[in-house]
Amino acid sequence: MLYLIGIGLSDEKDITVKGLEAIRQCDIVYLESYTSKLQVGVDKLEEFYGKKVVAIDRNFVEDGSGIIEKSKETNVALLVVGDVFGATTHMGLILRLKKESIGYEIIHNASILTVVGETGLELYKFGRVASIPFENSNIESPYDVLKENGDLHTLFLLDLDTKKNKFMRFDEAIEYLLRIEGKRKEGIFDDNKLCVVCCGLGSKKQVIKARGFDDLLKEKIDIFPQCLIVPGKLHFVEEEMLEIFK
Ligand SMILES: C[S@@+](CC[C@H](N)C(=O)[O-])C[C@H]1O[C@@H](n2cnc3c(N)ncnc32)[C@H](O)[C@@H]1O
């Protein structure tokens, strides 16, 4: 069978007890390493889990055949940074397992979609999540999401390429939104709007800052991955919480 195991956001010790027990029953342990990145390398995972960990790329997961064939023969673990469902990319695999009557178990963990709660912004008050890709010269949909979210908070996930160790920075994301605002002039992202930036959340090095975008554009923080939140209407408790990060 296949165990789909979220391993959390920071290091080898974020795995749950259930996740670790499942890994110990597996002959093959794959690490999906393209939707996010831990603060430690594969060697640390191998040492802590006591298993060889094979990093696999997007094609291998999306094609799925290799994982499915192995899961027919033996117990396989697919490790996902964060939570299994923190990225849409694993749905296809689960549908195929179901169709082929291969057993699977999902073991959850913290995801960027929940740990952003540490900013003090209420998770219930987030609207649609938007991703900003590296190649964004002809893309305006993240700005549209911000517009549609209105009074709700908007979480922007920022592109990464783990193979090239390349991560979008929050200041690039702010500049992107300013560029689209400059073009469309709809007043969705102007007036030095308050932004919350999160870098390496869940790790000891994590940084959260809540400031107007002018101030944030002057900051360079080399802790990755990063995401950007544009808060909507704030409750006074949220305002008080954000004070911590000003
Ligand atoms: C597809 S999403 C998240 C996938 C992961 N499976 C999860 O559940 O969190 C990847 C994006 O989340 C954001 N992200 C992931 N980990 C982060 C972290 N520790 N701190 C800040 N942002 C993070 C980045 O913007 C990154 O591009």
CA of 225 to the centre of ligand 1 (A): 6
Taking phi over 0 as left and psi of -120 to 50 as alpha, with beta for the rest, 85 belongs to alpha
pLDDT tens digit sequence for 205-235: 999 999 999 999 999 999 999 999 999 999 9
Q: With bands split at pLDDT 50, 70 and 90, how would you rate the model's confidence at 33?
A: confident
**H or E element that contains 49:** helix 42-49
What is the C-alpha to C-alpha distance for residues 38 and 192, in angstroms, rounded to an integer?
Answer: 32
Is 35's pLDDT higher than 90?
no
Quote the DSSP letter at residue 213: H
Q: What pLDDT sits at residue 242?
A: 98
**In this structure, are residues 193 and 213 in contact, taking their beta carbons and an 8 Å threshold?**
yes
CA of 3 to the centre of ligand 1 (A): 21
Query: Considering only CA atoms, which residue is closest to atom 11 of ligand 1?
Result: 157
Ligand 1 site: residues with CB under 6 angstroms? 9, 35-36, 80-83, 86-87, 111-112, 157-158, 160, 198, 200-202, 225-227
Q: ∠ CA(167), CA(169), CA(170), 5° rounding?
A: 140
DSSP track, 66-125:
HHHHHHHHS-EEEEESB-GGGSGGGHHHHHHHHHTT--EEEE----HHHHGGGGT--GGG
Is 87's pLDDT higher than 80?
no
pTM score above 0.85: yes
CA of 100 to the centre of ligand 1 (A): 30
